[in-house]
Homo-oligomer: A and B are copies of this chain.
Amino acid sequence: MPKKLNKDASTEEKIKQAAKRLFTQKGFAETKTREIAEESGINLALLNYYFRSKQGLYNIIMKENMASFKQGLAELFGDTQLDVYQKIEKLAHYYIDEFITNPDLPMFIVNTIYMAGNDSTILEEDETSASRKIFVNQIKELVAQRKIKPIHPAHILSNMMGLIIFPFVIGPLLKKRANINDKAFVEMMKERKKLIPVWIKSMLEN
């Protein structure tokens, strides 16, 4: 995803690019339509011309963000050629690279999931459901074969996601308290691509 706005993009596209950046960074309530207009260099009225409302525009951006989050998940989880550990390794690599490129995406995702508690239909069953079941079954099989300790799959899901996503959302804390600058932070996240699969293996087996 490019950082700079495409000057030759259509008006509609320019609005979406600015909206995506702002909504992802600051969320719905804190982003003002006037801001989006200014950022994208378009007239305020055009926002309502192309997208019916602020909420309509937000929903589009949210779906795109969540889709980009889920992208690859279905195929990866559903791939019967890969074992559990191979999947975790691919998962860590894929998402950490994604989050290094889009550092505001993790917080947006977390917020969206959290808000789904009160709200919405965001977490309805989707294309990842079937493939997630395949992954869960692989875990159950490892348990049955006594290769790992008995554990509820939700713990594993939580731990994988937490180890991958959480450092990004507490980045400011790590940077301030551990005296890590931006460059070192990225290096540390890259380290985690290798560390997380090893950690999870240890957790499961011991």
Q: In the complex, A107 Cα to B180 Cα: how many Å? A: 24
**Is the pair B203, A180 in contact by a Cβ cutoff of 8 Å?**
no
Q: Which of B114, B167, B191, B203 contacts A172 (CB 8 A)?
A: B114
User: Count the A residues whose beta carbon is within 8 Å of the partner chain — how many?
Assistant: 47
**Is residue A153 contacting chain B, with contact meaning CB distance below 8 A?**
yes
**Is residue A206 contacting chain B, with contact meaning CB distance below 8 A?**
yes
Q: Which of A151-195 contact B (CB under 8 A)?
A: 152-155, 157-159, 161-163, 165-167, 169-174, 176-178, 180, 188, 191-192, 195
Which residue of B has the minimal Cβ distance to A201? B206
Identical copies in the complex: 2
Q: Which of B116, B180, B206 contacts A154 (CB 8 A)?
A: B180
A42 to chain B, nearest CB (A): 24
Q: Which of B29, B113, B132, B177 contacts A123 (CB 8 A)?
A: B177
Contact A155 to B123, CB < 8 A, known contacts A110-B169, A170-B114: no
Q: In the complex, A129 Cα to B172 Cα: how many Å? A: 15
**Is the pair B192, A155 in contact by a Cβ cutoff of 8 Å?**
yes
**Complex contacts, A180 vs chain B, CB 8 Å:** 154
Contact A158 to B170, CB < 8 A, known contacts A114-B107, A152-B188, A203-B203: yes
Main secondary structure of the interface of A (DSSP, over half): helix
**Is the pair B157, A174 in contact by a Cβ cutoff of 8 Å?**
yes
A21 to chain B, nearest CB (A): 14
A96 to chain B, nearest CB (A): 12
Which residue of B has the minimal Cβ distance to A159? B163
- Other CB < 8 Å A-B pairs besides A154-B174, A162-B165, 14 of them? A110-B110, A110-B170, A113-B172, A114-B170, A123-B172, A123-B176, A158-B163, A158-B170, A159-B199, A161-B170, A199-B203, A201-B206, A202-B203, A203-B203
Q: List 25 A-B contacts (CB under 8 A).
A: A27-B29, A29-B29, A107-B114, A110-B170, A114-B169, A114-B170, A117-B171, A117-B172, A153-B178, A154-B174, A154-B178, A154-B188, A155-B192, A157-B174, A158-B167, A159-B199, A161-B166, A161-B170, A162-B163, A162-B165, A165-B166, A198-B206, A202-B203, A202-B205, A202-B206
